[in-house]
Amino acid sequence: MAWRTFNGNLLASDIHSAVENAIIRETDSGNRLKVCIGSDSQVYNGHTEFATVIVFLREKRGGFMFIHNEKDPNFYHLKERMLLEVAKSVNIAYNLCDLFDKYNVEMEVHADINTNPNFESNVALRDSMGYILGMGFVFKAKPEAFASSSCADRAIH
Cα 100–chain centre separation: 14
Distance from C-alpha of 155 to C-alpha of 157, rounded to nearest angstrom: 6
- Tens digit of pLDDT per residue, the chain (157 long)? 699 999 999 999 999 999 999 999 999 999 999 999 999 999 998 899 999 999 999 999 999 999 999 999 999 999 999 999 999 999 999 999 999 999 999 999 999 999 999 999 999 999 999 999 999 999 999 999 999 999 999 998 7
The CATH number for 105's domain is 3.30.420
Q: Is the dihedral of CA 90, 96, 97, 103 positive or negative?
A: negative
φ, ψ of residue 9 in degrees (nearest 5): -70, 130
Element (H, E) at 109: strand 106-114
| Confidence (pTM) | 0.95
Structural domain count, the chain: 1
What is the domain extent for residue 40? 4-155
